[in-house]
Amino acid sequence: MAGGGENNLPKGYMGKILRVDLTTRQQHAELLDKNMAHLFFGGRGFGAFFLFQHFQNLKLQGKFRNPYSEVDPLSENNVIIISTSPCTGTGVPTSGRVHMNFKSPLTGIYGSTNAGGKWAVEFKRTGYDALIITGKAEKPTYLLVTGEEVKFCDAQEIVSQDSVDKRLFLQKKYGSKLQVLSIGKGGQNFVRFASVMSDTGKAFGRTGAGAVWASKNLYAVAALSESRSEIEVADTESFDSKNERSAMYHARLKLDLGKFTRKEAAYGILSSMGSLGIMGMINSYRQLLRNNMKDTAHKPQDIEKIDGEALRNHAKNAKPGEKKILVKKGSCFNCPVACKRDTELLDENGNLIEKSEGPEFENTAMLGANLSIYDLPTIVQANSLVNRYGIDAITTGATIAAFIELYQFIKCKKDTLNPAEKMFLDDVKDFVDKYGEPQFGQAELLIPIIRLIGKKEGIGKSKEIDLFSL
């Protein structure tokens, strides 16, 4: 039961940490230390503590003189920490989030990322507050975590699938209650900003978690709370949202009064249009990036093509013979805001092109506005692809923008190219011959570039160059 017990923890904690070693295929649970719970609370705090503890142990074992700098993020010596908080799975609004920590393959330093959805709640109900994964599996593996055990399962049957299909396959195998974190081809190809995906479009993004998972031959972690351990709270009356004197009642009341978070009937921005509802406002404040962050000079009529209202009304406004976006509203665990949007992109004949979650504001800003792309169907398709490949949408958009600006800068130098710039032009020659010179505003180039990044082919293949040696 959560709280109390041998370690006398505050309520909200399950009281156990699950450790899994992929190399030895061993597992064990340990009691959550009361002092650590008070000092670090949960989530990112637990992640930072256990990350430091792991690298300290490597040093004490004599494996490294300075493991913080010496450990290769894509080696078996890295660690993955997935941690919940005392609020996770309770009546606290928006309490379905979970945090992940590791050493980042993108930066070489602290990797920290979080996501929403339902996985965190299902995992916590198996009886654990955090999962610590070390070592490297001998072959492709996924973990099945229940309240009784951890199963090391052969992942060969899901290796060829994208991140979304991995989840669907496992849910079909074990039941729809199963919640899954998975990687896609981006992680398997060691893209350094590969994500771990939750649901159909919630990403542990930015710092390369997906590549770390792949380096450990870990393809998914599934949670199934067969016995559904109860998450106790200290004051049940305060968690009763129907009790006008309770904390939860007032929390929801504040959400209902907020301009962004109030209900759709009261014209709440997020509930009626999703996070894309803030697109026009951000642009009106001159804060919406354009052309690799060179300026924020978007025309209002362009932003109106990709904002929340455009997404909400796309199917209604689409003309015969045009692509059409169908939108369905949803929410994460115990979230009254309901800003989630599930989308289906149909071609001119009504056939399904892509089905995914989103796009969110940040994804649209980076895959659309920052590239001067104002074609909503293209952005929806791009968003679905990055989710399926399991690569971070924000970093992908930023990387493409930097690539376009770099190409335009170098091609203008002509006879004054240095060796690195000549190498760059040689690398992109095949792409230019096939698709033309990359420029901002070219919606037709977005999908091909994303596919190359996800597959790590052509210009999508990273190359490290020591500029000081040239």
In this predicted model, what pLDDT tens digit does every residue of 109-121 receive, in sequence order?
999 999 999 999 9
Cβ proximity of 100 and 194 under 8 Å = no
pLDDT at 35 over 80: yes
Task: State the first-to-last Cα distance of the chain, in angstroms, to the nearest integer.
Answer: 62
How far is the C-alpha of 219 from the C-alpha of 331, rounded, in Å?
A: 26
pLDDT of 216: 98
**Angstrom distance (rounded) from CA 431 to CA 414:** 19
pLDDT of residue 292: 97
Whether the pLDDT of residue 85 is over 60: the answer is yes
pTM: 0.94
pLDDT digits (tens, 9 = 90+) for 335-351: 889 899 999 999 999 99
Q: Is the predicted pLDDT of residue 243 greater than 60, yes or no?
A: yes
Rounded-to-integer distance, Cα 6 and Cα 3, Å: 9
Residue 467 predicted with pLDDT over 50: no
Find out whether 116 and 99 touch, Cβ atoms under 8 Å.
Answer: no
In angstroms, the CA 378 to CA 441 distance is: 12
CA pair distance 201, 163, nearest whole angstrom: 9
- CA atoms 293, 357, 187, 431: torsion sign: negative
Distance CA 465, CA 168 (A): 40
Local structure of 179: helix, strand or coil? strand
Order the strands of the 98-103 sheet from edge to edge: 26-31, 16-21, 130-134, 80-83, 98-103, 110-115
For 129-156, what is each residue's pLDDT tens digit?
999 999 999 999 999 999 888 999 999 9
Distance (Å) of CA 342 to CA 334, 357, 434:
17, 4, 33
CA dist list (Å): 160 to 181, 185, 424, 440, 464: 16, 8, 31, 33, 28
Is 239 exposed, middle or buried, given 0-12, 13-18 or 19+ CB atoms closer than 10 A? middle
Per cent of the chain over pLDDT 90 is 81
Say what the pLDDT of residue 2 is: 47
Chain-centre distance for alpha carbon 370: 20
Banded model confidence at residue 468, pLDDT cuts 50, 70, 90? very low
pLDDT (average), residues 82-107? 94
Farthest CA pair distance, the chain: 75
Binned at pLDDT 50, 70 and 90, residue 5 comes out as very low
Place of tokens 């398997």: 188
Burial 134-155 (b: 16+ CB within 10 A, else e): bbbbeebbbbbbbeeebebbeb
Q: What are phi and psi of 210, to 5 degrees?
A: -60, -35
pLDDT in tens, 415-446: 889 998 999 999 999 999 999 999 999 999 99
Alpha helix (H) ranges present in 289-360?
A: 300-303, 308-312, 314-317
pLDDT digits (tens, 9 = 90+) for 41-71: 999 999 999 999 999 999 999 999 999 999 9
Mean pLDDT of 286-305: 96
